[in-house]
Chain A
Amino acid sequence: MYGQGILKGLGVTFKHFFATYVEDIRHVGGKLSSNDKFARRQGVDAMGLYTVQYPEEKIATPERFRFLPFLIVNDDDHPTAPGEIWCTSCGICPKVCPPQCIWILRSEDPVTKRPVPKPQSFFIDMDICMNCGYCMEFCPFDAIKMDHDYEQASSDRTQNHIFNMEKLSKPFAYWRQIAPTTAWEEAVERGGWEHIDVVKEKKKAGQPVAQPGAKWDDPYVPPIVEKPEEPAPAAEAAPAGEAIADAPAPAAAEAVSDADAERAARKAKREAALAKKHAREQDGGEG
């Protein structure tokens, strides 16, 4: 019969039309509000329309989502160096950046004029950045990360779009919040929650290091500071010490497979080499 194909096609349209309402009826009232329903509607079994009502609804982006870089600084409640930037101005990110949107001015010692491993200023031109994530991927210090905040519209592109260090800096707690699994993996590779240089120093000096737990959702351990004299901080330090005892290192070592251990060893070796190279570069820069 002529027209049968069209009718068949219209059947599909008809089905699509009703599927949305079937979903609605099945989850009366809860469809827009409950998070479970939302997740189901956005999953593989979704039927009918599953449009997200942006900006009333905003899907939380997955951890690896990347939109514009930011710099990690110590949390505000850090016991010794709150707000200290993790960047050592080693220069790898401006070298890997494909559109060359990163500028770093390295600090100098005001007296000796020797380079200091801290950025004096750090600029990223947000108009040029192509969100490739290379800076994050190749940073040996976990100091630059990709953000999730995609709402960056501004009314003046000529003044506001080169972000400086102040605007780029975000606390480590923010990174742990938007990417808990990745932050944990990185901490495991570093051997502690803190900056890799701090971890190394503390290990060298035999001081306790805030260790990540065996699983990614184990509680975060804030930096441990040894203050033997004063009684009050010692009481504070004690629970932190217990937290370490709760997650003993041997258990963690068992949890990671041989391949992981091998990878961690490789990574440690690599980072040591990079740090050495970095030191060499700085010495070279001085001469």
Chain B
Amino acid sequence: MTDQAIAPAHNETLDIGQSIEYLKQRFPEAVKDDTRQGYSGIVVARDQLVEVAQAIRDDLGFDYLSSATGVDYLGVEDSMEMVYHSYRTTGGPALVFKAQTERENARIPSLIDVWPGADFQEREAFDLYGIRFPGHPNLKRILLWDGFNGHPMRKDWHEAYYESDLKPFDSRWPKGYARRAEELNMFGKNVAYPDDLDLSKLNDTTEASLYSGMGLGVDVSNLSGPGELRTDRLVVNLGPHHPSTHGVFRMVVTLNGETIDSLEPVMGYLHRNHEKIGERNTWNMNMPYTDRLDYISSMGNNHGYALAVEKLMALGARYTPPTYRAEVIRVLMVELTRIVNHMWAIGFLLNDLGAFFTPALYAIAEREKILDFFEATAGSRLMCNYMRFGGVYKDIPERIHSTAVLLNDKVRDFNTLEYLTELISERLPRAVDELDRFLTDSEIIRARTIGVGILPREMAIGYSAAGPLLRASGVPYDVRRADPYSIYPELDFDVAVRYNGDIYDRYLIRIDEMRESLRILRQILPRLERTKGESFFAGNKAVYAPRVPLGEAYGRVENPKGELGYYTVSQGDPKGPQNPWRYHVRAPSFINLTPLGQMAKGSKVADVVAILGSIDIVLGETDR
């Protein structure tokens, strides 16, 4: 019977259960079910991980490695593990597989040869967990500096002057004596250097690994080749403070003449260990922190986190899914956010191309109208903190309304639904058309972008590119359709896709996506009217410290910048812990940078700026 199940020639169509059966048949020694409470997927023996991964990719067709992340189970199992989520680009749920290692001298073979997209994610796991990946060609720290002492995501690592492992802190109530945290954490004393670190040599050693292999110090006289210029390589640091990097981001570029030989992204200048903070927080507290990831599209970040925790809550006995009205409001917010983000992205891509701020301001002016609505509904323009587990913070207000006080006196008063209707059916479509007319045919833009920064289809999939970057390379992969969530299945829209994979297509696809978002929003408006007065929250809204049943969950949404995933683990306290054991963000801005070096190779310095602009990163999310 099982032979029948694994026999078909088209293994690519096996569902998850059958795929796991197939793997167990093929690797009886190495593959085991993950039987822990609330967990799913398989545990793969370390020594056969690469073979199993190859089978998962080639035989079973899971060609897209969405997320790879470490987890430290100190005190639970005293081991560490890597968790991989692989998907098919044709759609469907994830095949989750894990590899475990001891905590001391942790080693797990690198999957970079199977999925090159594992590159940055494995480097991150090495940086934050200290897991070594034999086979990785460039295993060094990525978010922290080379002199950093220890691996901060390990459960036994504490920063200097840390107060407590978990929030809420006891010192706040009932005997709360305020003091400034800064006074405890005086500048200069919060860094512990490793014992073997010689500070006087820091400048020589820390960057050496970065610059090695860049062809510096070449003896020019030995360069041969008839008719070829004998040139040394020139290393240019673009950034960290550079207007084109939209924040603090650095690209170390080796130039041969004006052509780029290699490009190495250097990041982490904005790193604040978002995930460690997240593991200290209670489940609820993380919501406003997610706003600060991709701060252009905070509603989308909220949505992803709410989905992940709701998935975890669904493992328990008492769980009420969000109400229909809540889902409608969520989709309304998220699609408006997509327009906000794409307006911004296009505006600043044009900035990078040299059209300084005219297109950007035209785009941002339209964005303001959406932010006004966010402000009236959620209370803030950027840091919305609007979604909750089971619904949203508050219903959409009757009126966008303000009263004059001494502080500020210019009053506005609009009917919210009329405002939204006019915005969605008149103003935004007009704005998108205008942007299209303004930019799409411009000869300068076409000359600068067509055929530049090409990312071929296979490479885009292999490098785990997501969002517009992936879809502009001819892969019609959109989480809203591939692995549907919320009320997207009942909405009528198309997945925008373009095929050339250059900057121009990445620009066009954002215009397409804004039009598709408007199409969704036009379907949302009647649903909003129909569900008026219904409950926008399921469950008890007064629960300020929800307990979440044991288990793991990976919640992902199609954020404007690409697939945003949250891997959350609930462990420890058997009653259901108040704080997440593991909280990982699969950040599209971070992983989309993996193919940047490949895309930039062979182009000019000015093109790199445009290529980076077309990926559309936000450093709050890249560096976390």
A-side residues, CB < 8 A to B, are 2-6, 8-9, 11-13, 16, 35, 38-39, 42-45, 50, 52, 57-66, 89, 91-92, 94-98, 100, 102-106, 115, 123, 125, 127-128, 130-134, 137-138, 140, 146, 148-149, 151, 158, 161-162, 177-178, 180-181, 257, 259, 263, 270, 274, 285
Contacts and interface: CB of A to CB of B under 8 A. Distances in A.
Given A6-B442, A100-B167, 20 more contacts: A8-B438, A8-B441, A9-B437, A16-B362, A35-B411, A39-B412, A44-B423, A63-B401, A64-B397, A66-B380, A91-B173, A91-B174, A95-B173, A97-B172, A98-B167, A100-B169, A125-B178, A148-B407, A178-B405, A263-B535
Contact of A94 (B168, B288, B405): B168
B27 interface: no
Contacts of B385: 132-133
B341 interface: no
27 contacts: A9-B441, A11-B437, A16-B362, A38-B410, A42-B410, A44-B414, A52-B410, A60-B403, A60-B412, A63-B401, A64-B377, A64-B378, A66-B379, A96-B284, A96-B544, A97-B285, A98-B285, A98-B286, A98-B287, A103-B173, A103-B177, A104-B172, A123-B176, A123-B178, A149-B407, A181-B401, A259-B533
Contacts of B400: 62
Most buried by B among A5, A45, A58, A158: A5
B151 interface: no
Contacts of B173: 89, 91, 94-95, 102-104, 106
Nearest to A66: B379
Contacts of B408: 58-61, 148
Nearest to A54: B408
B410 A60 contact: yes
A5 B402 contact: no
A30 B500 CA distance: 52
Interface string B514-534: 000000000000000000011
Contact of B168 (A42, A100, A127, A181): A100
B442 A9 contact: yes
Contacts of B285: 96-98, 134
Contact of A104 (B174, B282, B439, B442): B174
A140 B533 CA distance: 23
B383 interface: yes
Contacts of A127: 180, 182
B372 to A, nearest CB: 8
A100 B427 CA distance: 42
A223 B419 CA distance: 38
Interface string B389-411: 00001100110111111011111
Interface in B265-320: 281-282, 284-289
Contacts of B169: 100
A180 B403 contact: yes
A151 B407 contact: yes
A69 to B, nearest CB: 12
Nearest to A270: B542
A180 B407 CA distance: 16
B199 interface: no
Contact of A44 (B397, B422, B544): B422
A43 to B, nearest CB: 6
Given A5-B442, A42-B412, A115-B174, A62 B402 contact: yes
A133 B284 CA distance: 12
A105 B174 contact: yes
Interface of B: 167-169, 171-178, 180-182, 281-282, 284-289, 358, 362, 365, 369, 372, 375-380, 383, 385, 393-394, 397-398, 400-405, 407-414, 419, 422-423, 426-427, 434, 437-446, 533-535, 540, 542, 544-545
A94 B411 contact: no
User: Which 10 A-B residue pairs are closest in the complex by CB-CB distance?
Assistant: A103-B176, A5-B441, A123-B178, A58-B408, A132-B288, A94-B172, A106-B174, A60-B402, A98-B285, A62-B376
Contacts of A158: 180
A3 B369 CA distance: 33
Contacts of A89: 173-174
Contacts of A177: 403, 405
Nearest to B369: A44
B535 A259 contact: yes
Contacts of B404: 60
Nearest to B446: A5
A contact patch SS? mixed
A137 to B, nearest CB: 7
A131 B385 CA distance: 10
Given A58-B408, A106-B175, A13 B358 contact: yes
Nearest to B281: A98
Contacts of A132: 287-288, 383, 385
Contacts of B178: 103, 123, 125, 162
A89 B282 CA distance: 21
A257 B393 CA distance: 21
Contacts of B380: 65-66, 131
Nearest to B284: A96
A130 B282 CA distance: 16
B409 A146 contact: no
Nearest to A273: B542
Contact of A59 (B167, B398, B410): B410
Given A60-B412, A100-B167, A95 B441 contact: no
A52 B444 CA distance: 33
Contacts of B419: 43-44
Given A44-B369, A96-B544, A138-B544, A125 B176 contact: no
A220 B423 CA distance: 35
Nearest to A15: B434
Contact of B402 (A63, A66, A133): A63
B441 A257 contact: no
Contacts of A39: 411-414
B375 A61 contact: yes
Nearest to A49: B365
B17 to A, nearest CB: 39
B375 A60 contact: no
A61 B409 CA distance: 9
Contacts of B375: 61-62, 64-65
A89 B173 CA distance: 8
Contacts of B378: 64
A6 B443 contact: yes
A60 B176 contact: no
Most buried by A among B169, B379, B441, B534: B379
